[in-house]
């Protein structure tokens, strides 16, 4: 297996991304050959490889590597890149199960894993079952990547503590996401709690902490990184929620109707429901969460989000959180190239169209 | 949290089981209180606690503790019991996802997790999604149990290697189990491969290896333990397959029609299909894998298994493997109480009615 080495230029985000992708590809290629040798099914490794190469922002691996730099990490970063790759493999687990739970048909412009297998065999339940297992394997393999990264035992123990907390947080976040539609649509505090667990902690805070652990970071730095990561993560997810309603499928790779059809209780919908007049509220209650929702229906929901000012308020919330993240970043005592890269990532996460 | 200590009497299987159950209960109680403090849903920990206390043979935890004894482990076994509990928590993950994939309605005489949640909210897809997440959480928490067991770093590293291999094996086993029904029913080699991955390695071999690792076992002992564990595990699963067709639901806690309705390709069905005359073969092809299969249909399938001698052959296979396991056990140089307990477990696994 090729061992990419990570030098000073590793705040070059494109280079980090290429190294992470190489680790993932090599790992899955080894898994595919191992399966071949033991007459085991090849499509588990192959499907994961296709899934991972179809796209993705690699935000979590990048933040992991930058957390390492922020804490003064330098020199050979092979183990760091492998840890970053493990986070991406874990993310594949999350997305594959998430797509199944959300009944999503496409991801990254490709059929989702459960649809892919269901289409191949003409059997929906088989597709769902295969997606459960391929997701489970991604989780198991993310651990294997982590444990074979070459970390000294004391550092691995610290890293495992962060990873174990991260997993619990994201699974609780997903569970909250599943259950909030059973509560009132107006409850924007509930929608914010989902965002905090599902995204702010999982996508931003914990990857930075993972990286910082690998440079044996001081305790204070974790807190300082959290002050940057948590508002950034909230802004990231609020942007995601807006893209789920206003985005262009050719840019996001996801159908624009899914979130509305699924009836997710997002912050923007909660705000709209709070401010809606009776006619607007009736329209939201009638259209949201119905699998038959069409483009015309979506346009009418969007009109309510615009007219109630809910969309504008969420744009304000994104801007506020983005500013908070940048202010917090100025207080983090980390090397200037790491600061610059964290600033760049923040801009990309908040201003994106995909 | 109460710390059970494990002394010489830990080859007393009932005592080990009680200690494992206490660790699981205390762990989940701590998780429930932690969720309460952070306004997170309480039903994840509560559902897992109900699932784990509803029953289960605790075979994997017992084998883990006995693997430790076999390799000369003695004295304070707190970390060993916690590891054994982690294996049981991992098993909860396997079963919860397995029941969903198999569309099983009951387990241990109770509704399965997906049915429980579906019944509570009157929503099948919500039940399936909750079962995916509660299963995922069981996996995450099994790791937390493992990492907080107090193992010295070098031992934890060795243990993680065994656990990572075990997970890959059981997930491949489940994947094979899912896909074999797409192949010919007569392929009993495929059915045996499922058994090896899904059960022999996962249920018997790896738990023993986990325990042996915790006593810093010599390499030879792993091989010797495998010679006992693999035939035993095959016998265990062959018995399970027979109970799936011939068992009494009040003893097994599972509906007797599930395996036949699901159309699982088991060894006994493969042998029957190989030997069936055209009329018998037609009957198998018509009845197996149909959700409408009733008790009369099951009786007709059983008649074919009896008439073709497939049932008798599988009983012979169980007896042969049981004998192999016992012979291999005689060659394992381990303390007599551990040998006696392993002998007892083998008898229980093979001769059981539930």
Q: For a pLDDT cut of 90, what percent of chain B falls above it?
A: 81
Work out the minimum CA distance from A30 to partner chain B, whole angstroms. 14
The answer to whether A129 and B175 are in contact (CB under 8 A) is: no
Query: What range does the domain containing A21 cover?
Result: 1-150
- Residue A354, helix vs strand vs coil: coil
Whether residues A10 and A26 fall in one domain: yes
User: pLDDT tens-digit profile of B87-140?
Assistant: 999 999 999 999 999 989 999 889 999 999 999 999 999 999 999 999 999 999
Task: Using a CB–CB cutoff of 8 Å, tell me whether B141 touches chain A.
Answer: yes
The answer to whether B167 and B210 are in contact (CB under 8 A) is: no
- Mean per-residue pLDDT for A269-281? 97
pLDDT at B62: 96
Q: ipTM exceeding 0.85?
A: yes
Helix axis angle for A124-147 and A43-53, nearest 10°, is 80
Whether residues A1 and A25 fall in one domain: yes
Binary contact (B132, A100; C-beta < 8 A): yes
Whether residues A68 and A196 fall in one domain: no
pLDDT band at A63 (very low <50, low <70, confident <90, very high): very high
Q: How far apart are CA B120 and CA B126, in angstroms?
A: 10
Task: Using a CB–CB cutoff of 8 Å, tell me whether A156 touches chain B.
Answer: yes
pLDDT band at A129 (very low <50, low <70, confident <90, very high): very high
Task: Using a CB–CB cutoff of 8 Å, tell me whether B216 touches chain A.
Answer: no
Q: Judge whether residue A3 has pLDDT over 70.
A: no
- Mean per-residue pLDDT for B180-191? 94
Please name every residue paired with A107 in a beta bridge, in sequence order, or none if there are none: A110
Task: Give the range among A188-202, A262-276, B19-33, B255-269 with minimum mean pLDDT.
Answer: B255-269
Whether residues A80 and A4 fall in one domain: yes
How does the average pLDDT of chain B come out, rounded? 93
- Mean per-residue pLDDT for A216-225? 93
- Residue B269's nearest CA partner among B258, B277, B281 is B281
Chain A residue numbers with beta carbons less than 8 Å from the beta carbon of B182 are 121
Give domain status of residue B341, yes or no. Answer: yes
Q: How far apart are CA A300 and CA A303, in angstroms?
A: 5
Give domain status of residue B314, yes or no. Answer: yes
Work out the minimum CA distance from B58 to partner chain A, whole angstroms. 22
Work out the minimum CA distance from B271 to partner chain A, whole angstroms. 22
Whether residues A224 and A297 fall in one domain: yes
Q: How far apart are CA B209 and CA B215, in angstroms?
A: 10
Give domain status of residue B328, yes or no. Answer: yes
Final residue of a structural domain among A86, A121, A150:
A150
Give domain status of residue B68, yes or no. Answer: yes
Task: Using a CB–CB cutoff of 8 Å, tell me whether B136 touches chain A.
Answer: yes
Q: Judge whether residue B2 has pLDDT over 80.
A: no
Q: For a pLDDT cut of 70, what percent of chain A falls above it?
A: 97
Q: Judge whether residue B3 has pLDDT over 60.
A: no
Q: For a pLDDT cut of 70, what percent of chain B falls above it?
A: 97
- Mean per-residue pLDDT for A32-39? 97
Whether residues A205 and A56 fall in one domain: no
Whether residues A179 and A76 fall in one domain: no
Q: Judge whether residue A187 has pLDDT over 90.
A: yes
Token code pair at residue B184 = 């010919």
- Mean per-residue pLDDT for A198-217? 96
Whether residues A39 and A145 fall in one domain: yes
Q: How far apart are CA B74 and CA A353, in angstroms?
A: 61
Whether residues A285 and A194 fall in one domain: yes
Binary contact (A178, B130; C-beta < 8 A): yes
Give domain status of residue B3, yes or no. Answer: no
pLDDT at A11: 62
Q: Judge whether residue A72 has pLDDT over 90.
A: yes
- Residue B23's nearest CA partner among B74, B92, B70, B88 is B88
Of A134, A161, A178, nearest to B126 by CB-CB distance is: A178
Q: How far apart are CA A8 and CA A18, in angstroms?
A: 15
pLDDT at A12: 78
Instruction: Please count the other Cβ atoms lying within 10 Å of the Cβ belonging to residue B158.
Output: 18
Work out the minimum CA distance from B38 to partner chain A, whole angstroms. 10
Instruction: Supply the DSSP string of B233-283, one letter for each residue.
Output: HHHHHHHHHHHHHH--HHHHSS-TTHHHHHT---HHHHHHHHH--HHHHHH
Q: Strand B110-111 and strand A106-107: pairing?
A: unpaired
- Mean per-residue pLDDT for B143-159? 94
The answer to whether A65 and A81 are in contact (CB under 8 A) is: yes
Domain containing residue B111: CATH number: 1.10.600.10
Q: Judge whether residue B22 has pLDDT over 50.
A: yes
For A128, residues 6+ apart whose C-beta sits below 8 A from its C-beta are A100, A114, A118, B101, B128
pLDDT at A4: 40
Domains of chain A: total: 2
- Mean per-residue pLDDT for A316-328? 97
pLDDT at A194: 96
Give domain status of residue B338, yes or no. Answer: yes
User: pLDDT tens-digit profile of B39-82?
Assistant: 999 999 999 999 999 988 899 999 999 999 999 999 889 999 99
Whether residues A184 and A227 fall in one domain: yes
pLDDT at B11: 62
pLDDT at B9: 44
Chain B residue numbers with beta carbons less than 8 Å from the beta carbon of A147 are 157, 160-161, 164
Q: Judge whether residue A256 has pLDDT over 90.
A: no
Q: Strand B106-107 and strand A110-111: pairing?
A: unpaired
Q: For a pLDDT cut of 90, what percent of chain A falls above it?
A: 82
Whether residues A110 and A225 fall in one domain: no
CA atoms within 13 A on the CB side of B324: 18
Q: Judge whether residue B282 has pLDDT over 90.
A: yes
User: pLDDT tens-digit profile of B53-62?
Assistant: 998 889 999 9
Task: Using a CB–CB cutoff of 8 Å, tell me whether A46 touches chain B.
Answer: no
pLDDT at A2: 37
pLDDT at B249: 78
How does the average pLDDT of chain A come out, rounded? 93
Whether residues A168 and A122 fall in one domain: no
- Residue B106, helix vs strand vs coil: strand
Q: Judge whether residue B349 has pLDDT over 60.
A: yes
- Mean per-residue pLDDT for A91-106? 95
pLDDT band at A95 (very low <50, low <70, confident <90, very high): very high
Chain B residue numbers with beta carbons less than 8 Å from the beta carbon of A35 are 172
User: pLDDT tens-digit profile of B303-334?
Assistant: 999 999 999 999 999 999 999 999 999 999 89
Residue to mutate among B27, B38, B40, with most A CBs inside 10 A, is B40
Q: Judge whether residue A13 has pLDDT over 90.
A: no
């Amino acid at each position: 297996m090729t061992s990419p080495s990570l030098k000073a230029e590793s705040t070059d985000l494109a280079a980090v991304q290429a190294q992470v992708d190489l680790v993932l590809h090599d790992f899955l290629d080894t898994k595919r050959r191992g399966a071949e040798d033991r007459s085991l099914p090849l499509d588990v490794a192959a499907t994961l490889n296709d899934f991972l190469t179809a796209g993705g922002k690699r935000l979590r691996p990048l933040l992991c590597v930058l957390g390492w730099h922020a804490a003064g990490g330098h020199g050979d970063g092979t183990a760091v890149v492998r840890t970053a790759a493990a986070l991406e493999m874990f993310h594949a687990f999350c997305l594959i199960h998430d797509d199944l739970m959300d009944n999503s048909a496409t991801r990254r412009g490709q059929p989702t894993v459960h649809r892919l297998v269901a289409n191949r065999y003409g059997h929906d339940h088989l597709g769902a079952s295969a997606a459960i297992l391929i997701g489970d394997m991604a989780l198991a393999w993310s651990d294997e990547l982590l444990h074979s990264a070459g970390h000294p035992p004391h550092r691995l123990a610290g890293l495992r503590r962060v990873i174990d907390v991260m997993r619990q947080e994201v699974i609780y976040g997903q569970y909250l996401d599943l259950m909030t539609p059973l509560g009132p649509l107006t409850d924007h505090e509930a929608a914010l709690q989902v965002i905090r667990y599902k995204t702010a902690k999982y996508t931003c805070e914990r990857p930075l902490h993972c990286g910082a652990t690998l440079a044996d970071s001081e305790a204070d730095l974790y807190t300082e990184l959290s002050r940057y990561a948590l508002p950034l993560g909230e802004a990231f997810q609020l942007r995601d929620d807006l893209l789920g309603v206003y985005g262009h499928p050719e840019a996001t790779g996801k159908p624009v109707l899914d979130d509305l059809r699924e009836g997710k209780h997002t912050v923007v919908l909660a705000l709209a429901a709070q401010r809606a007049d009776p006619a607007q509220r009736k329209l939201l209650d009638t259209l949201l969460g119905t699998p038959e929702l069409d483009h015309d229906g979506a346009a009418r929901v969007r009109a309510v989000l615009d007219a109630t000012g809910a969309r504008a308020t969420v744009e304000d919330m994104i801007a506020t959180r983005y500013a908070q993240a940048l202010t917090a970043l100025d207080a983090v005592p980390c090397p200037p190239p790491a600061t610059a890269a964290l600033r760049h990532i923040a801009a990309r996460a908040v201003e994106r169209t995909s």
